[in-house]
Every structure is written in C-alpha cells, then in structure tokens.
Structure 1
Amino acid sequence: MKTAKRFSPKEAEEIYLVPYWSAGFFRVGERGELEVTPSGPKGPSASLLEIVEALRDEGRPLPLVLRFPQILEARVRELNEAFLRAMEKYGYQGGYRGVYPVKVNQRRLVLETVARAGRPYHYGLEAGSKAELALILAQDLSEEALITTNGFKDDDFVRLALMGRKLGRNVVITLEKFAELPRVIRLSKELGVRPKLGIRYKLKAKGAGQWEASGGENAKFGLTTPEIVRAVEILKAEGLLDTLVMVHAHIGSQVTDIRRIKAAVREAAQTYVQLRKLEAPLTYLNLGGGLAVDYDGSKTNFYASANYTLSEYAEDLVYVTKEVVEAQREPHPILVTESGRAVTAYHEVLVLEVIDVITPPGERRPGAPGPEAHPLVRELWEGLENLTPKNFREVYHDAFADKETLQTLYDLGLVSLKDRALAEEIFYHIARKVYAIVQQLPYAPDEFEDLEKLLADKLVCNFSIFQSLPDTWAIHQLFPIVPLSRLREPPTRQATLVDISCDSDGKIDRFIDLHDVRPTLPVHPVRPGEPYYLGVFLVGAYQDVLGSSHNLFGQVGEAHVAVDEEGFAIERFVAGET
C-alpha cells in the first residue's frame, strides 16, 4: 500500500472518478481538498472545505447545500454555444431556441440565473402547470424567447397562457391531448386572442434508460397520427391553421444512448415535414428533453451515464433534422430543446457530516474459546489459527458454513448467545484476513466479491435520504460522493452511508464506478474530534423539488457561493427548516 506522502491528488481523482463526471467544474487540489472551478477548469477555484468551514464559523448547521450560480451560467452558455457551433458547421439556417423546464428545479436563484444567462441567446422557459406559468411570466426574458406550456390544461391554464400572449410574450400552447383543442379555440375566441399552438406528436421511437417506458405508443402525453390530422382539419375550418407554429416530440428523460435520440429526431423531423405538406405553417421543431448527465463518468449507455457528449448531441440533432427536411425541400425549422437536468445538475452540492461510525465485528483478534465452547466455535478458531494465503478459500468456505450452522442451532436453542457472539467475532476476523489476502491477488475471485460489503463500515450522516436525495431511494439513482478533504491520504476503509431517519431504506449502498456499480465507498478512518465531510454531487436536478418531510426533517439550509480570483464569497444564505 502506498504511504500517505506518496498519495497524490491525481490518484484521489482516479479513485473518486472526478475528471470523468465533473465536466471540469470540480477537481482535487494540491492540498488534498476538493475544489470547485465554477467558470471551468481554467478559471478561479475555491476549496469546498474552506467554504463549509466559513459557514460553520457563521453558525450554519449541517447538512447544507452549496449552490454555484456561475456553474448554472456556464451550463446555459455551453448548451446554446454547442447548438450555434453545430449549426455553423452544417450550414443550418433555422436557428436554436432552447427552453428550460421549470419543473426540474424552481428555486428562485436557479430560475433567475437561467433567465439572465440565457437572455443573449433568447433562451426560454417551459411550464408544466398554471403555477409554473405564472412564475415564468414574471421573469425577464427576451421578446424572442419561447415560453412553452406542457402538461394537462384546464380553462384557467389556457386563459393564463392567452393572457401571456396579450402581454406580448412568445407563449406557445402545446396540445398534448386532443380534448385540449376545442378548449383553446373556445377561450381564444372569448378573449379575442390569436394563440400560438404546438402539437405534441406521440413518438413511436423510445428512449433508453430509467425513463424508456415514458415514450412510445403508450406514452402519457401526445396525439396519435389520426388525431393530428383531425386537429389540422379543425384548425383549418376555424381559420386558425396559421396559429400552428410548432410540432413537439419528447423521447424521455436521461436518454443514455445517442442512437435512440437520432432515431427519435428523424421521426420527429419527418412529422414536421408531413405537417407542412398539410399546409401547417410550422416554424419550430421542439425535440423535447432527454439530454443526459453522465453521473458515473463511464460514457456508456448505462442508466446513470451517457454515451455521447453535449457537442455530439447538438450536432446529431442539427444534422439529422437538416438531412430530413432538405430531402423534402422544406425550410429548416427553428430547433427547440427542453433540457433541464443537463443545465442544473452540476450547480448544487449536498454537504454531509459523518456523526458516527458503525463498524462490523472482528477488527481485533478475538480471544480463544474455552473448552466449554460449542465444538463449531472451536472449529472456527482452528480455521483462524491455520489460515494462510494458500488455504484461504477452504478456510473461508468452512467458516461460512460453520457460521450458518451455528445460526440454525441458535434458533433451535442449542447454542448460547455467548457462543454465537464469539463465533461471529471469529468469523468476521477470518473474513478480514481473507479480504487482505484477496486484495493482494492479481484479480479477485467472484466468490469473494461480497466481502467488501460485508466488512464495510456504516457512516452515519446527519441528513435524510427522503428529504435531500429522494432519487437514490425511489429509482436507485447514482450520485458521485467524495470526501471534501484528506485526499492526499489513501482511503483505507470501505463504507456505506446511512441517514438519521427511522426508515431502513435511508441508506446509500450503491456508488459510481466506470465498469459496474460499487457496493461501497472508499473513505478515510474518521478521527475523534475531527469533522469528516462528504460531498454529494450533481444533485441540482429534481432532488430539491421531490424531497419529502419524512420524519419531519425539513429542507436544509443553502448557501449561494461565488468564486473569483480573490477567493469565494457567500452571497446569500437561505436558512433551512428546523
């Protein structure tokens, strides 16, 4: 094992895969502390540990959230610039108008930062409810910025959207059910407002990943092809065909495979072409969401990853659309995407403090059993005494069998509690010695894969999974987790994390890996009297808005942090609930 002196920041970055998932916004500094570079890898940096310590000095309790609005600004720029570069590369004439789906994170800082950063690009917002639309109409968007309305629409929702049109906002009402069409026609006549309409087409193509089932013919939203044709006929009869400006298709969230995306774009672009042949004067092709975040850094089509980059995504959308429409001699549409996760995920870090450590038995060599001990306990002890690198397989298999037999005998009342306790101490000590032997082998035999989890510590952290990381429980989402300090020391322990809720599901026992899912997280021994902080990264999408008050644990406090050449500044602190 390497000594602490020789352990480098680069080695720490490889253990925690920082270069693979961080998109250039985080790194391990020379002092062994995790640093944020919110303007990108060439910009100024700040130690996350120093930020947390400054907040603690102000009396701010943990857990807490660190928000970096500069990362939000950078992601908005990167998204828009990727499409501008792609359009220049392929000679695309239609333009790009992205919209941010407010449902992903409606925090005031998030919404205002996205709107401000997106203004030069005419970046817009997407509403999925009346409340979200009211929030959006209050934002300072450019006149050309799109406001798209999705979701189920009652009369009040449609009225509010039409009032937005009266106020001069570029609001497009997306028809996602055929029954919404007569409602929109009726209310637009009542209010004397000509709407801007979009039709959501129910894609046959499906996404890839956790939300694959949200697309296809059984999708919750969208019109079928017969309904679309009928809608065009009705709009033409009502003298409103000129109000149909957009066709919308959504393949699903966190689409991990670029091939699925390209297939969906081709189908959606063909629908744009066919609607124009029906004399619908479409100008926008809305390709919805799906731009994935590479949570584990593996760059694969694994559900927590993505096998493409932002640049590749933009280029494929532009190229495929151009190819389809030019083949039919139709004009290039203005491309619209509704990327939320990829915009907001990186800007937020959840900081946890380890408040206790639960260690499995067997750390120290147990005492020898006496002659009164059960024969199987003495047999376990003999295995421990005779364990060598040559016979570790046999000893471990025998020890495991003896432990299981002793458990059965205990249930029958044939083994005492004292004997069972000593047997467990011996077994776990055998397991630890076997694990040390396995670690020295060129490869770990499959039969010993579970040893790491069996011997892992449980780090008790002062937070609630259900409040702060609901997706880890609900859909087994993976998030990068990294100690904020001591990264010039090799992590010599393995651990899982548990929260302080009373629910057994309040745990994290799945961690990112380039090739698989790790059952444990490499950590350092927790020193008495010294805080040990863990950062949970890429949590800026959905976690805030989905968190519950399970066990009456309220929202955590959040700090808004800016970084420049002079250091960092805590611009605002929003207190949590107690």
Structure 2
Amino acid sequence: MDSFAYRHHKLHAEDFPLERMAQEIGTPFYCYSTETLIRHHSVFCEAFTDRDFLLCYAVKANTNQAVIKTLADQGAGADVVSEGELRRALKAGIPADKIVYSGVAKTKREMAYALEKGIFQFNVESEPELYQLNDVASRLGKVAAIAFRINPDVDAKTHAKIATGRAENKFGVPLKRARAIYADAAKLPGIRVQGVDLHIGSQLTDLAPFEQAFHIAGKLVEDLRRDGHDITVLDLGGGLGIPYDQTETAPPLPHLYGQMAQRIVGHLGCKIICEPGRLLVGNAGILVSEVIYVKKGEDRNFLIIDAAMNDLIRPSLYEAYHEIVALEETGANPVTYDIVGPVCETGDTFAQGRTLPELATGDLVAIRSAGAYGAVMASTYNTRRLIPEVLVKGDSYAVIRPRPDYEDIIGLDVLPDWLD
C-alpha cells in the first residue's frame, strides 16, 4: 500500500499533484511519501507488539538523510554495512545503541569508528573478522558486542544476485562450524558474545524459507546456551518482499511474518532484531520521467524517456519488474511500448511490451516501487547528472537532494601537473 493515487485523473503523491511537481523541479526525479514510510514502519513494528523488539532499518536500501530521519523519528534503529552508512545513521539522529553493523569486509578503521561510537552489535561474518575485531577492540580498551551471522544453507527462492543464505554465498559462517567459532570467540578479551544473526536474502515472497532458517537459528541458540553462552539477541535479518507486479500474488504481510517468527523463536526470550529495508521504502517512492520521443521501430514502438539505467539500474541489473503508469488518465487508445532510456546501452530498458494509453513527447510517466535501490544505486554514467530526490508530506514537498550542475560532476576530476 502506498500514497500515490489518481485524483481527478491526475496522479498525486499524498495531496500534491505530480504534474505540478514536474513543472517546478524538472524531470526526471524521485519522489518519496512520508505517509507511506511512517505507515510501513508502524505495520512492521505492530507485528512484534509486546516483544523486546528493535527494528533496524537497512540503510543501504535508501540512504537519503531525510528518509533515515523520518524513520528515526518513529523510533527505528539502523542496520549499516559501511562507515559511511554508520555516519549517515548517526547524523540522522539514530542512537548508536540502536545500530547493528553487518557486512563481510569491515576494515580496521571502520571497526574502530564503530567501537568509539558505541554501537549495539557487530554482526561478524568470518573468523578472520572476529580476530581482527578483537585486536582493534583490545587496542582501544573496548569490548565489542557481537553476533555471528550464520549461513544456514537455505534457498531463499529469490533472484540469484540477492540470495545470501546458501552455502556457496559469501555471507556468514557455516552452520557446522558455528559452535566451535562461538567457543573461540568466548575466549577473546575484546569480544562479548551476545547473539545469533542470519539474513538469507532479499525480496522473498514466501514465508517457507524464513521458517526453515528460523528453526535452524532457534536450535542453534539452544545449543549455544547449553554450551554456556549467554545468548540474549536474535537478529532475524530482513528480506520480506514487496509487491512490484500488481497482477501477481502479493508477498506475505508483515503480521503473518511476525506471527511465524514468534511461533518459532518467541519461546527463547531473546531480544528480536529485524532489518527491513525494501519493505519500508520500496513502495514509498516513485521515479517521474518525461517522454522525449515516441519511435516506431520495425516491429515495435519505443517510448524513449529522460530517465535512464544510471538513474534506476534494477531492471537492467536484476531483470526487475516495475509497474509504469501515465501521470494522467486520458482515456486514450492503448498502445504497446518498449520503454527505454537515452543511455548508449541496449540494457537501458525499463520494460518491454507494456501497454499504456497512447503517449506523446512531453507526456509524463511514473515508475512505481522505486524507493529502494533506486537513487542509492545511481551513477553519473554517460556524464548524466544525478536526479533530484523529493519528500512529500501532505500537500507540501521538499527537495531533499538537488540536481547537481555539470561542473559539480566534471569538477571532481583533477588534471595532473603535466596536463595543466
């Protein structure tokens, strides 16, 4: 559910007409809904009512300060995977003791920064990381609270590029080695073992893989407690999917996910952490673009828009589906288009064989469900400027990242002395 709807045949973001926004800002641009962000946070937290629960927003999904701040004001913590994301979370007002640090390649510098800030937990993904974290913490006179990310070898049944819980994936420590690794960690002076962590993938549309992984995690907690470890935290990761294609069966709702999780691991009495990202921000954002040309090919019509793969790479990178709609309901005859951008790549294609009302140069379209892994993965390929991000609240909006000038991009290059 989101807050983008037609009123008098014009698509609005909450109470603001997107056509007017396009006239004032210029296209293309991303637009996010405050109302949707808050609703999604609330719905997920309600799935764990009366539990010791912490929602840690997966910052990588959308790193804009205004988005993080909106969720922070609702009480969200953060799941980060780099020093930069940690700095963004802290600057947006998320307390350090509500931040977990994931990622397979934390550096000594990143570890030291996180330790100095006093984060809640490191999710450790390998034995070399464990020993390096112990060395850094001991040198600083700190103790790092940790959970090991366990690789349960569970098929998440999602896209291969975003599956993270199989044995062949780079993430986590092998389940078979877990008890031995925990035993080693308990002997280290700079380490305090407190939890178990897992994350099996992104955009899961079925609860069955979660259920399988949570059973494994729950049994491991019980085994570790019998081994003498004080396991008080269970980090279930994120990954619950969102509806991109309205014609397909929607993923399970958060309350069903919460009921399942509590049925399987609730008896353990652990503090439960979940790390949703896409679920909070995906359907809270759209990308608005203008039609530049309508081109008739040999056997198809091309709708060429001013947004490109460098603005939204998901269709090119993941073969991802995004619903695309006209900003105005005109009643025009339907036409089937391939919707493409201006970048010099055949992969610069948003959709093929989509039926829309007949469109012309200057008309506007919206690419829906673009709030996650959209602007955050954008680049300046073809020396195209990054596009603005906008946050709507009611009948008002604010530009929360402006469109840079060309000199802002080209000026980052530095000529060596011999070329001056």
- Tell me the TM-score normalized by structure 2: 0.89
Contact 2:11 2:19 (8 Å CA) reproduced: yes
In 1, Cα distance between equivalents of 2:333 and 2:227: 64
Once the two structures are superposed, the pairs formed by residues 220-299 of structure 1 within 5 Å of their partners are 220-238=170-188, 243-299=192-248
Q: 1:299 to 1:280 in 2, by over 3 A?
A: farther
Q: CA deviation at 1:360?
A: 4.7
Alpha carbons 2:242, 2:251 under 8 Å: kept = no
Q: Secondary structure at the match of 1:214?
A: coil
Aligned-partner Cα distance in 2 for 1:225–1:462: 48
Answer yes or no: is the 8 Å Cα contact 2:69–2:92 preserved in 1: yes
Identify the residue that residue 314 of structure 1 maps to in structure 2: 258
Say whether the 8 Å CA contact 1:205–1:267 is kept in structure 2: no
Q: Which residue of 2 aligns with 1:461?
A: 305
Offset at residue 359 of structure 1 (A): 2.6
For 2:27, the equivalent position in structure 1 comes to 62
Whole-Å separation in 2 of the counterparts to 1:184 and 1:109? 32
Are 2:2 and 1:27 aligned? no
- Pick from 368, 379, 393 the counterpart of residue 548 of structure 1: 379
Pairing partner for 2:356 from 522, 543, 547: 522
What is aligned with 1:349?
286
What pairs with 1:472-551 in structure 2 (closer than 5 Å)? 472-485=315-328, 487-510=329-352, 519-526=353-360, 531-551=362-382
Stretches of structure 2 lacking an aligned partner (at least 5 in a row)? 407-420
The residue matched to 2:73 in structure 1 has which SS? Answer: helix
Residues 219, 157 of structure 1: alpha-carbon distance in 2 compared, 3 angstrom cutoff: same
Q: Indicate the SS of the match to 1:131.
A: helix
Q: Is the 8 A contact 1:357 1:458 kept in 2?
A: yes
CA contact (8 A) 1:464 1:553 kept: no
Alpha-carbon distance in structure 1 between the residues aligned to 2:163 and 2:143: 36
Native 8 Å contact 1:104 1:545 kept in 2 = yes
- Quick one: distance in 2 between partners of 1:573 and 1:284? 35
One-letter amino acid of the counterpart of residue 399, structure 2 = R
Alpha-carbon distance change, 572 to 237 in structure 1, aligned in 2, over 3 angstroms:
closer
Contact 2:96 2:117 in 1 (8 A): no
Q: Secondary structure of 1:83's match?
A: coil
Task: Give the counterpart letter for 1:504 in structure 2.
Answer: T
Task: Judge conservation of contact 1:299–1:308 (CA < 8 Å) in 2.
Answer: no
Q: Distance in 2 between matches of 1:235 and 1:557?
A: 46
Letter in 2 for 1:346: N
**Match for residue 399 of structure 2?**
572
Structure 2 CA distance for partners of 1:193 and 1:474, relative to 1, 3 Å: same
Moved more, 184-193 or 342-351: 184-193
**Equivalent residue number for residue 112 of structure 1:** 69
Q: 1:298 to 1:144 in 2, by over 3 A?
A: farther
Residue identity in the other structure for 1:126:
D
- 1:146-174 Cα shifts (integer Å, max 9, x gaps): 43343312221221122122xxxx42112
Question: Partner of 2:388 in structure 1?
Answer: 557
**Cα distance, 1:237 vs. partner?**
3.1
Give yes or no for contact 2:135–2:190 (8 Å, CA) kept in 1.
no
Query: 1:478 is matched by which residue type in structure 2?
Result: Y
Query: How does 1:442-457 map onto structure 2 within 5 Å?
Result: 454=299, 456-457=300-301
For structure 1, the residue ranges without an aligned partner over 5 or more in a row are 1-22, 38-44, 89-93, 301-305, 362-453, 511-518
The answer for the alignment partner of 1:171 in structure 2 is: 120
Given that residues 334 and 355 in structure 2 are in contact (C-alpha distance below 8 angstroms), is that contact kept between their aligned partners in structure 1?
A: no
After TM superposition, the structure 1 stretch with the greater mean CA deviation from structure 2, 179-188 or 350-359, is 179-188
Stretches of 4+ moved more than 4 A in 1? none
Identify the match of residue 166 of structure 2 among 195, 204, 216: 216
Q: 1:482–1:182: structure 2 CA closer, same or farther, 3 Å change rule?
A: same
Shift of 1:546: 1.6
Q: Deviations over 1:282-338 (max 9, x none)?
A: 1111111211011002453xxxxx44122212221122223xxx4xxxx32111111
CA offsets 1:463-517 (integer angstroms, 9 cap, x no match): 222x2111111111111111011x151542222212122222222334xxxxxxx
1:10 maps to none
- The Cα of 1:98 is off from its aligned counterpart by 1.3
Structure 2 CA distance for partners of 1:507 and 1:181, relative to 1, 3 Å: closer
Q: Determine the C-alpha separation between the residues in 1 that align with 2:346 and 2:392.
A: 34
More strand by share: 2
- RMSD in angstroms over aligned alpha carbons? 2.3
Equivalent residue for 2:22, pick from 52, 65, 75 = 52
* Structure in which a larger fraction of residues adopt helix: 1
Instruction: Count residues with an aligned counterpart.
Output: 404
Task: Tell me how far 1:67 sits from its aligned partner.
Answer: 2.6
Cα 1:491–1:149 change in 2 (3 A) is same
8 Å CA contact 1:126, 1:150 repeated in 2: no
Match of 2:221, SS state, is: helix
Letter aligned with residue 545 of structure 1: V
Distance in 2 (alpha carbons) for counterparts of 1:181 and 1:235: 7
**1:213 to partner: Cα distance:** 4.5
Q: Matched residue of 1:253: which SS?
A: coil
- Residue 197 (structure 1) aligned to one of 113, 121, 146: 146
Query: Which structure has the larger Rg over C-alpha atoms?
Result: 1
State how 1:377-456 maps to structure 2 within 5 Å. Answer: 454=299, 456=300
Q: Which residue among 33, 40, 44 is the counterpart of 1:75?
A: 40
CA offsets 1:186-238 (integer angstroms, 9 cap, x no match): 22222221221111111121201214643211121211235322233223334
Aligned to 2:58: 101
Cα distance, 1:134 vs structure 2:
2.9
CA contact (8 A) 2:43 2:255 kept: no
User: For the residues of structure 2 that align with 1:268 and 1:108, how far apart are their CA atoms?
Assistant: 33
Change (3 A) 1:144 1:172: closer
